[in-house]
């Protein structure tokens, strides 16, 4: 774990305030002592001036900070324990216990907290409203949101295989919760604790400001209460009114910074630094090759993930794609095949950057296109089908809207009737009933979704379709249907395909030519037949030797 600047700043600021609350009262003396006639502005004798009754504001601030922090800590601990019991235990137990706990948490969540606290505080006679009473009430009204977060996370953790594995090895339930689940909840528990502390300090300040706080405590809220009732602002005694609020704000802000960092630990997507990289590398367009048969030429392409240690994801790759050809791109995870596919369409995002090379598409230098030209180029000339059709479709809009989007953008002159007809037409091409147009992605099976994606890729009759592991997530039977569909459509419509997969036997069966990639480089580039019969590169041979043959001798490999 690296300590980001935010975390360091947050912890430092929060630490200073805690230190002030701990040590301050010892140094500043009794806050109740009357030191002068009152309302002296900050100066030599009193760093922060005095109150209307002549007490030192700094001394009061130190004691009040201690009081507020103490209540924050009490409530934070109690609320976290409550949320842990209702969130974690409930979710792990499952069944009726979970239902009941979850219902209870949700009810507590929707009943507004502060009004309830005010009512309770209103019923308890002032002399019986102690720090513990107030803290307890704040904890009881403040744990529910955290319980909901913890429950969601625990539900996800308890279905992880490592929890199942621990149970299979015979671990007791309490040990599974404490040793296997709890450590992985720590970031979330920490963030919920921090949040509970801030909320408690803010709520207590509000209560005290209203005169409903704990009778036996002095907090930043009570200080503000006295400042307000002493008309501090009206008398322009800002030094009395501003510091308590500022301490609350700074402490809250510091803990928010800590929470930002925890968020970044939980969700790595938030962590990555975003650099707005150079978008266009080529300034002088590359002259189109003479070969009319070639639709896409990639020459000496290099893609680098710029970072502390730059990763050279694509190294000097050169490929040509002929019209109507199926080019297979084979390789294992991390070999750069997907990065290459994205770079061809300039879909790579920072920190990935095309450092050199060219991509020429039917005479057009793709790397030299301006943003608007690039947008007009995409999908019209080259469309893509991604691996998880599950995730490639927008989950919240129906299929028809996602198909129509393409036509609306690229064929603005098309009428609504024509658009609808075209959408139905492409669905028919891939064998999906047009009645499915109104369906949402989650209502379709995996194979159906992938067909819809292919239909979408066909909408504008592009010359090239890039397919990135289009069948990997599918079952064999569905995979077979989709592959047959792709072959048939290619034969009918004569588009070229770049088919990316780790499944070399599949490519050997499907492709015209195959490029094998390893560590960013194309190590072998040949026709499928050549590669099957006479693989030259040792890595190609190793890959071929990884697949046992289904029909050959027992123990025999594909090659």
At closest approach, how far in Å is the CB of 450 from other proteins? 12
Could you tell me if 185 and 157 are in contact, meaning their C-beta atoms sit under 8 angstroms apart? yes
Binding status of residue 311 toward other proteins by CB under 8 A: no
How far is residue 248's CA from residue 250's CA, in Å, rounded to a whole number? 6
At closest approach, how far in Å is the CB of 189 from other proteins? 13
Q: Measured from the CB atom, is 33 or 267 closer to other proteins?
A: 267
Question: What character string, x for contact with other proteins (CB under 8 A) and - otherwise, covers 454-473?
Answer: --x-----------------
Q: How far is CA 190 from CA 73, 109, 264, 457, in A?
A: 13, 20, 13, 46
Binding status of residue 332 toward other proteins by CB under 8 A: yes
| Burial readout 119-158 (b: 16 or more C-beta within 10 A, e: otherwise) | ebbeeeeeeebebebbbebbbbbbbbbbbbbbbebbbebb
Please identify, among the stretches 30-38, 102-110, 357-365, 429-437, the one whose residues bind other proteins according to the rule CB under 8 A. Answer: 102-110
Binding other proteins (rule: CB under 8 A), the pick from 145, 258, 432, 517 is 145
Binding status of residue 435 toward other proteins by CB under 8 A: no
At closest approach, how far in Å is the CB of 54 from other proteins? 23
Q: Measured from the CB atom, is 90 or 252 closer to other proteins?
A: 252
* Residues in region 223-262 near other proteins by CB under 8 A: 224, 228, 233-234, 238, 241-242, 244-245, 248-253, 255-257, 260
Q: Measured from the CB atom, is 418 or 529 closer to other proteins?
A: 529
Binding other proteins (rule: CB under 8 A), the pick from 1, 26, 435, 476 is 476
Please identify, among the stretches 264-272, 278-286, 305-313, 314-322, the one whose residues bind other proteins according to the rule CB under 8 A. Answer: 264-272
Binding status of residue 184 toward other proteins by CB under 8 A: yes
Binding status of residue 198 toward other proteins by CB under 8 A: yes
How far is residue 340's CA from residue 432's CA, in Å, rounded to a whole number? 31
Token code pair at residue 558: 């594909």
How far is residue 168's CA from residue 160's CA, in Å, rounded to a whole number? 13
* Residues in region 512-551 near other proteins by CB under 8 A: 528-529, 532-533, 542-543, 545-551
Token code pair at residue 379: 């999908």
Binding status of residue 305 toward other proteins by CB under 8 A: no
Please list, in sequence order, all residues whose beta carbon lies within 8 angstroms of the beta carbon of residue 160, skipping any fewer than 6 positions away. Answer: none
Could you tell me if 331 and 518 are in contact, meaning their C-beta atoms sit under 8 angstroms apart? yes
At closest approach, how far in Å is the CB of 480 from other proteins? 4
SS3 content of the chain, % helix, strand, coil (to 5): 55, 15, 30
Please identify, among the stretches 44-52, 71-79, 99-107, 411-419, the one whose residues bind other proteins according to the rule CB under 8 A. Answer: 99-107
In SS3 terms, 124-170 reads as CCHHHCCHHHHHHHHHHHHCHHHHHHHHHHHHHHHCCHHHHHHHHCC
Q: In DSSP terms, which residues pair with 548 in a beta bridge?
A: 557
Binding status of residue 70 toward other proteins by CB under 8 A: no
If binding means CB under 8 A, how many residues of this protein chain bind other proteins?
A: 137
Phi, psi dihedrals of residue 35, rounded to the nearest 5°: -105, -25
Q: Measured from the CB atom, is 54 or 245 closer to other proteins?
A: 245
Please list, in sequence order, all residues whose beta carbon lies within 8 angstroms of the beta carbon of residue 340, skipping any fewer than 6 positions away. Answer: 298, 301, 303, 314, 317, 329, 517
At closest approach, how far in Å is the CB of 334 from other proteins? 9
Q: For tokens 């528990």, what's the residue?
A: 189
Q: How far is CA 247 from CA 51, 223, 239, 478, in A?
A: 17, 12, 12, 63
* Residues in region 366-425 near other proteins by CB under 8 A: 374-380, 383-384, 386-388, 391-398, 405-406, 409-410
How far is residue 36's CA from residue 440's CA, in Å, rounded to a whole number? 74
At closest approach, how far in Å is the CB of 15 from other proteins? 16
Question: What character string, x for contact with other proteins (CB under 8 A) and - otherwise, covers 483-512?
Answer: -------------------xxxxx-xxx--
Question: What character string, x for contact with other proteins (CB under 8 A) and - otherwise, covers 148-177?
Answer: ------------xxx-xxxxxxxx------
Token code pair at residue 237: 């005694």
Other residues' Cβ atoms within 10 Å of the Cβ of residue 47: 14
Could you tell me if 412 and 392 are in contact, meaning their C-beta atoms sit under 8 angstroms apart? no
Question: What character string, x for contact with other proteins (CB under 8 A) and - otherwise, covers 45-64?
Answer: --------------------
At closest approach, how far in Å is the CB of 106 from other proteins? 7
At closest approach, how far in Å is the CB of 55 from other proteins? 20
At closest approach, how far in Å is the CB of 1 from other proteins? 12
At closest approach, how far in Å is the CB of 288 from other proteins? 22
How far is residue 535's CA from residue 284's CA, in Å, rounded to a whole number? 38
At closest approach, how far in Å is the CB of 269 from other proteins? 5
At closest approach, how far in Å is the CB of 33 from other proteins? 26
Please list, in sequence order, all residues whose beta carbon lies within 8 angstroms of the beta carbon of residue 505, skipping any fewer than 6 positions away. Answer: 547, 558
Binding status of residue 361 toward other proteins by CB under 8 A: no
């Amino acid at each position: 774990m690296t300590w980001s600047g935010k975390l360091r700043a947050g912890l430092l600021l929060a630490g200073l305030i805690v230190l002030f609350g701990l040590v301050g009262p010892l140094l500043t003396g009794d806050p109740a002592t009357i030191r002068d006639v009152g309302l002296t502005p900050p100066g030599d004798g009193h760093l922060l001036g005095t109150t209307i009754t002549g007490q030192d504001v700094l001394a009061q601030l130190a004691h009040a900070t201690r009081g507020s922090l103490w209540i924050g800590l009490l409530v934070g601990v109690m609320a976290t324990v409550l949320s842990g019991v209702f969130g974690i235990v409930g979710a792990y137990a499952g069944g009726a216990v979970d239902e009941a706990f979850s219902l209870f948490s949700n009810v507590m969540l929707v009943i507004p907290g502060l009004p309830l606290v005010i009512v309770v505080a209103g019923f308890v006679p002032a002399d019986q409203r102690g720090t513990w009473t107030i803290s307890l009430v704040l904890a009881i009204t403040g744990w529910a949101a955290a319980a909901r977060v913890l429950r969601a996370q625990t539900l996800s953790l308890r279905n992880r295989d490592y929890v199942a594995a621990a149970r299979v090895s015979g671990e007791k339930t309490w040990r599974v919760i404490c040793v296997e689940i709890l450590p992985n909840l720590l970031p979330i528990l920490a963030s919920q604790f921090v949040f509970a502390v801030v909320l408690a300090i803010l709520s207590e300040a509000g209560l005290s400001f209203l005169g409903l706080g704990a009778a036996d405590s002095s907090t930043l809220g009570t200080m503000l209460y006295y400042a307000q009732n002493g008309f501090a602002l009206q008398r322009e005694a800002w030094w009395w009114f501003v510091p308590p609020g500022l301490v609350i704000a700074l402490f809250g802000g510091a803990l928010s910074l800590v929470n930002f960092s925890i968020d970044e630990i939980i969700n790595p997507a938030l962590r990555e630094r975003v650099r707005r990289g150079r978008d266009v590398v080529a300034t002088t367009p590359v002259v189109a090759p003479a070969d009319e048969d070639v639709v896409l030429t990639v020459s000496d392409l290099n893609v680098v993930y710029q970072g502390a240690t730059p990763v050279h994801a694509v190294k000097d790759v050169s490929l040509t794609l002929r019209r109507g050809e199926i080019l297979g791109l084979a390789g294992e995870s991390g070999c750069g095949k997907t990065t290459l596919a994205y770079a061809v369409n300039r879909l790579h995002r920072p920190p990935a950057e095309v450092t050199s090379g060219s991509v020429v598409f039917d005479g057009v230098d793709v790397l030299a296109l301006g943003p608007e030209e690039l947008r007009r180029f995409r999908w019209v000339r080259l469309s893509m089908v991604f691996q998880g059709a599950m995730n490639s479709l927008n989950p919240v809009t129906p299929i028809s809207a996602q198909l129509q989007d393409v036509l609306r953008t690229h064929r603005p002159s098309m009428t609504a009737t024509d658009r609808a007809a075209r959408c139905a037409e492409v669905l028919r091409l891939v064998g999906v009933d047009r009645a499915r147009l109104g369906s949402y992605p989650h209502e379709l099976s995996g194979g159906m979704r992938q067909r819809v994606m292919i239909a979408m890729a066909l909408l504008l009759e592009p010359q090239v379709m890039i397919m990135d592991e289009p069948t990997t997530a599918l079952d064999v039977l569905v995979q077979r249907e989709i592959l047959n569909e792709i072959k048939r459509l290619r034969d009918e419509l004569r588009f070229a395909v770049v088919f990316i997969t780790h499944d070399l036997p599949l490519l050997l069966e499907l492709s015209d030519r195959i490029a094998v990639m390893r560590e960013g480089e194309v190590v072998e580039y040949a026709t499928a037949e050549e590669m099957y019969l006479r693989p030259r590169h040792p890595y190609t041979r190793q890959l071929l030797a990884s697949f046992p043959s289904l029909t050959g001798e027992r123990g025999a490999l594909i090659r």
